[in-house]
Amino acid sequence: MEKDNRTKASGISRGLVFLMAIASGITVANIYLNQTLLVSMGQTFHVTAAQAGMIATITQAGYALGNFMLVPLGDIFERRRLIVALLVLVCLCSVASAFAQNFLWLAAAQLLLGVFTIIPQIIVPFAADLADENERGKVLGNVAIGLVCGILGARLISGIIDSHAGWRTVYWITCGSTLIIMLLIRLFMPKSKASHTINYGKLLASLGPLLLRENTLRKACLSQGLMFGAFSLFWTTLVFLLNDPPYSYGSQATGMIGLVGIGGAFAAPVIGRVIDKRGAIFANVLCMSISLLAFMLLFSGKQSLIAIIIGALFVTMGTQANQVVCQVMIFQLAADMRSRLNGMLMVMIFLGGALGSYAGVLAWTGFHWTGVCLLGMFMIGIAFTSLLIPDRSIQEIGEE
């Protein structure tokens, strides 16, 4: 496959980019499926909305842990084999979720599902390695289309399935989808070069100094971590808003709004081209401004479904496009450490996401939709402070 349809511009085939996008989308969906299922899960296990909301937080915290513990392995192990092994574990966790007999069982299964569903963060550095430098933004943007469609499509599909067949069926279907992706990756994704020049202990030990040393990495972590936190608090609490009067729609409506947000997926390749032409700083400011505007619109969401729909589109556009910006920034630092750089970025992003989900539930419990919107604006406001962190000259990072 890697020999077919190669473009002169990117050094990577269109078919391979498409496979990477599809694989990333289907696997990342596992992190977001539960956000439209929280009400149904809570009813099944007779827990409060705040307790049910912890499932979304636990899953994202597990994803952050997986990014720290497992994504750096992409720098030393052959990536295709690593991805296939992780997909096997994802299938087992999906089955465990479908069989959950109590809330603690479900929480444990979702935590592990989050840990092992880090396949996209191994695929993205691989795509960056294969792409030419002057087209890297475009290639990563195209892969990001799959990521965004997976994130928002998860809410749509899980909402529809939950309404007709129950939330457990969602995890049986995702298990089957994961098996299909596993086969496609095994057949068509090329092997990467494995490097065993550093052991696992030293690999993890290099992450802290990496974050402390690189201003650009810290800048990306602060910007996208808080942007994603605001994104997560919106989607986690939206199901509660739409279940209350005057809407009283249920989980399927949240999924339908997620379908509208999929339009934001196409902001990712656009912002990739902006990066290639105007630079990352300009693109960073543009993305954060779009998300801030989104929460201003969402203030009217308690009375206006149109405001919710437009706000969902804008918050998705700003957040997902900004992730492409931040990845392009950090991938310039060291080609042989891209998995570690991406892993550190993803740790901070999903810690931000876990914080956003948890804080969003608290804001909803105490102040309802007004509190959610104010908190989202506050988090994006702090994200703007990342612009104060100076860039420094790119230099090769040595092993510790």
Q: How confident is the model at residue 11 (pLDDT cuts 50, 70, 90)?
A: low
Indicate the CATH number for domain 14-193+204-388. 1.20.1250.20
**Per-residue pLDDT tens over the stretch 243-275:** 877 777 766 666 677 667 666 667 767 777 787
In sequence order, what are the beta bridge partners of 6?
13
Residue 235, pLDDT above cutoff 90: no
Q: Which two tokens stand for residue 178?
A: 């994961």
- Between CA 248 and CA 87 the distance in angstroms is 37
Q: Residue 124: in which H helix or E strand, if any?
A: helix 120-130
Q: Residue 321: in which H helix or E strand, if any?
A: helix 305-331
Q: What is the mean pLDDT of residues 264-288?
A: 79
3-state secondary structure of 81: helix
pLDDT at 82: 92
Residue 6, pLDDT above cutoff 80: no
- Sequence ranges of the domains in the chain: 14-193+204-388
Give percent helix, percent strand, percent coil of the chain, each to the nearest 5: 85, 0, 15
- Between CA 213 and CA 341 the distance in angstroms is 12
- Between CA 158 and CA 175 the distance in angstroms is 13
User: Average model confidence (pLDDT) for the chain?
Assistant: 83
- Between CA 259 and CA 43 the distance in angstroms is 25
Q: Which two tokens stand for residue 236?
A: 């986690």
In the chain, % of residues over pLDDT 90: 29
Check: CB of residue 306 under 8 Å from CB of residue 253: no
Q: How confident is the model at residue 292 (pLDDT cuts 50, 70, 90)?
A: very high
Residue 225, pLDDT above cutoff 90: yes
The reported pTM is 0.72
Check: CB of residue 234 under 8 Å from CB of residue 357: no
Please, which residues have CB within 8 angstroms of residue 80's CB and are 6 or more apart in sequence?
185, 186, 189, 190, 191, 192
Check: CB of residue 122 under 8 Å from CB of residue 82: yes
- Between CA 345 and CA 299 the distance in angstroms is 30
Q: Which residue has the higher pLDDT, 7 or 267?
A: 267
Q: How confident is the model at residue 316 (pLDDT cuts 50, 70, 90)?
A: confident
pLDDT at 252: 63
Q: What is the mean pLDDT of residues 295-300?
A: 89
- CB half-sphere exposure, 348, CA atoms < 13 A: 23
> DSSP letters along 157-169, please?
HHHHHHHHH-HHH
Q: Which residue has the higher pLDDT, 93 or 389?
A: 93
3-state secondary structure of 13: strand
pLDDT at 381: 94
Q: At what angle do helices 280-298 and 267-278 cross, to 10 degrees?
A: 140
